[in-house]
Amino acid sequence: MKKIVLVFSGGLDSTTLLYWLKDKGYEIKTLSFDYGQKHSKELEMAKKTCKKLRVENKIIDLHNLKDILKSALTSEGQEIPEGDYQDEVMKQTVVPNRNMIMLSIAMGYAISLGFNRVAYAAHSGDHTIYPDCRPIFVEKIRELAEVIDYEPVEVLTPFLEITKADIVKIGTELGVDYGLTWSCYVGDEKACGKCGTCIERLEAFKENGLIDPIEYN
């Protein structure tokens, strides 16, 4: 059986990827990361989905990284910007080098387990804003992953070239429970419906003629 470690935020994209990997027959262990994000509700959702699918989930405590990594996602004094996901202002929500940090830990775990395979849910909608979701980043981290240990580690990114609407379509076919996913960056009890990630999410459901099952303010 193919074995893999999934970087799993509990958001829409990585939850769909979890179902996708299960459907492909992978044995999966998931890693979630507490990096001091305001929307730590995604970690509760990650736990619930993993419990439902009987998949191991470990939360890695990196919350003290918020002292050294500047981002609106983690800074108490800085508000999450509203507006379109593609807007320049969304760059405030970049956590510098977040994906390389999470992937490097996932790779270390995969090596320790003898899995030698990791996955993460970068998709085409992220390319403009997040440097560490671009195809060139994926290409270079793949090349690095081949030489980080005595044996190469493989990096799977099956959603790299598709949109969030495509992901919702795939997930709906796979029976993903989107009520157990979280996207909003603000971190209130209900989703704000106004931040870039809420807008992108709502549009993805709308394009598929579907209603997002989570509650909005």
Looking at the Cβ atoms of 131 and 193, the one nearer to its own copies is 131
Q: How far is CA 89 from CA 38, 93, 129, 132, 176, in A?
A: 18, 8, 9, 17, 31
Looking at the Cβ atoms of 1 and 147, the one nearer to its own copies is 147
Name the DSSP class of 214. S
Cβ 131 to its own copies, closest distance in Å?
A: 5
Cβ 188 to its own copies, closest distance in Å?
A: 26
Give Cβ neighbours of residue 106 (< 8 Å, ≥ 6 apart).
5, 6, 7, 31, 118, 120
- Distance of alpha carbon 44 from alpha carbon 187, whole angstroms: 12
Looking at the Cβ atoms of 102 and 165, the one nearer to its own copies is 102
Cβ 166 to its own copies, closest distance in Å?
A: 24
Looking at the Cβ atoms of 6 and 180, the one nearer to its own copies is 6
Looking at the Cβ atoms of 50 and 101, the one nearer to its own copies is 101
Give Cβ neighbours of residue 108 (< 8 Å, ≥ 6 apart).
none
AA identity, residue 156: L
Looking at the Cβ atoms of 67 and 189, the one nearer to its own copies is 67
Specify whether the CB–CB gap between 94 and 65 falls below 8 A.
no
Cβ 174 to its own copies, closest distance in Å?
A: 28
- Distance of alpha carbon 195 from alpha carbon 92, whole angstroms: 12
SS3 194: coil
Write out the residues near its own copies by the rule CB under 8 A.
31, 58, 60-62, 64-65, 67-70, 95-98, 100-101, 103-105, 107-109, 111-112, 131-132, 134, 136-137, 140-141, 143-144, 146-150
Cβ 176 to its own copies, closest distance in Å?
A: 26
Specify whether the CB–CB gap between 40 and 15 falls below 8 A.
no
Specify whether the CB–CB gap between 142 and 122 falls below 8 A.
no
Cβ 98 to its own copies, closest distance in Å?
A: 7
